[in-house]
């Protein structure tokens, strides 16, 4: 298996914290990442890696997957990957895509394993989650804790509801700063997202997620005020009509205490009574 420090040396680059560039160099963590993929037919058929960097994780994915597509936005690193893995590319086992993962066309893939750039981790996560594929992703620890949080806990919020709308999300491993070069200022964690349908029904997913976003911008307010004050975000025409039609006890709660199921039911009610017929 390729040594991560050796790869860094051959690539001739050093990570740049100012550009959110931290290379994972701990062999033990790198070896474990592919193992967090769930078992199942086809899961390892075509694995996507975002932010391939010096290829340390790429090498391990190639040992596990039938095919790997590695996305890398840094032109120098993309060129290095094409040189370092020329044999695997020639054999048809690897594709290297140079470009921003938020902009490039992603291939059809069976799962994604990635050490994401933290500055765009939210945007990339919510590009991947709706695709309903198994994900093993490295995040800033605080972000990961918010993804997995339950209603009523301090970390619960829009991110928790939105992520768990698409998948069962769990932290499978905390990762210390020392596992990276250069060391980031924060601790990290690996999450596994296993796609599944939510336990509630949503007729208009876009409206539901906008509604969740809206009420959590006022998380310190009661739901009554949060619904009324955020119609410009939720897209409601009449927030007061929703408040009048909703359960009074629910309207007295703060958003952080409301379960995803109750938020979904309230969003359905809001769509029915709070929007003008088109």
pLDDT tens profile 248-260: 999 999 999 999 9
- The verdict on 12 and 96 lying in the same domain is yes
**Does residue 278 belong to any structural domain of this protein?**
no
- The verdict on 146 and 233 lying in the same domain is no
Residue 72, annotated ligand binder? yes
Terminal-residue alpha carbon distance, the chain: 60
- The verdict on 172 and 220 lying in the same domain is no
CATH number (domain holding residue 127): 3.40.50.150
pLDDT at 6 > cutoff 90: no
Query: What one-character-per-residue DSSP string does 194-257 give?
Result: EE---SS--S-HHHHHHHHHHHHTTTTS-HHHHHHHTHHHH--S-HHHHHHHS-HHHHTS-GGG
Residue 232, annotated ligand binder? no
- The verdict on 182 and 209 lying in the same domain is no
CATH number (domain holding residue 220): 1.10.8
Residue 12: per-residue pLDDT: 77
What average pLDDT does the structure give for the chain? Answer: 94
- The verdict on 190 and 227 lying in the same domain is no
DSSP state of 38: P
Residue 24, annotated ligand binder? yes
Q: Which domain holds residue 240?
A: 205-273
- The verdict on 256 and 139 lying in the same domain is no
| Whether the model pTM is above 0.75 | yes
What contacts 195, CB < 8 A, 6 or more positions away? 132, 133, 134, 166, 167
- The verdict on 118 and 226 lying in the same domain is no
Residue 4: per-residue pLDDT: 76
For the chain, the domain total comes to 2
Nearest-angstrom CA–CA distance, 188 and 190: 7
Nearest-angstrom CA–CA distance, 52 and 192: 18
Residue 51, annotated ligand binder? yes
Q: How far is CA 164 from CA 2, 131, 132, 140, 194, in A?
A: 35, 13, 12, 18, 10
**Does residue 157 belong to any structural domain of this protein?**
yes
- The verdict on 252 and 127 lying in the same domain is no
Nearest-angstrom CA–CA distance, 179 and 157: 29
Residue 115, annotated ligand binder? yes
Last residue in a domain, options 195, 222, 254: 195
Cross-strand bridge partners of residue 171: 191
Residue 19, annotated ligand binder? no
User: Nearest to residue 241, comparing CAs of 217, 203, 275?
Assistant: 275
């Amino acid at each position: 298996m390729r040594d991560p420090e050796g790869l860094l040396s051959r690539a001739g680059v050093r990570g740049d914290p100012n550009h959110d560039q931290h290379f994972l160099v701990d062999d033990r963590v790198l070896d474990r990442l592919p193992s967090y993929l769930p078992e199942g037919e086809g899961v390892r058929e075509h694995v996507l890696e975002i932010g391939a960097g010096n290829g340390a994780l790429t090498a391990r994915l190639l040992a596990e997957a039938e095919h790997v597509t590695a996305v890398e936005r840094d032109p120098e690193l993309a060129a290095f990957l094409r040189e370092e893995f020329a044999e695997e590319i020639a054999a048809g086992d690897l594709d290297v895509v140079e470009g921003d993962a938020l902009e490039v066309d992603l291939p059809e893939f069976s799962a994604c394993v990635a050490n994401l750039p933290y500055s765009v981790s939210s945007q990339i996560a919510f590009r991947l989650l709706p695709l309903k594929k198994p994900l093993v992703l490295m995040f800033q620890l605080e972000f990961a804790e918010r993804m997995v949080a339950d209603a009523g806990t301090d970390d619960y919020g829009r991110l928790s509801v939105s992520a768990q709308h698409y998948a069962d999300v769990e932290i499978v491993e905390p990762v210390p700063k020392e596992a990276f070069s250069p060391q980031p200022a924060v601790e990290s964690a690996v999450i596994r997202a296993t796609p599944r349908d939510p336990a509630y029904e949503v007729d208009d997913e876009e409206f539901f997620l906008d509604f969740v976003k809206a009420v959590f911008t006022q998380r310190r307010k009661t739901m009554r005020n949060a619904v009324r004050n955020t119609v410009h975000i939720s897209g409601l025409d009449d927030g007061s009509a929703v408040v009048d039609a909703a359960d009074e006890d629910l309207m007295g709660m703060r958003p952080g205490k409301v379960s995803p199921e109750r938020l979904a039911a309230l969003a359905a009610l809001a769509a029915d009574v709070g929007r003008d017929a088109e």
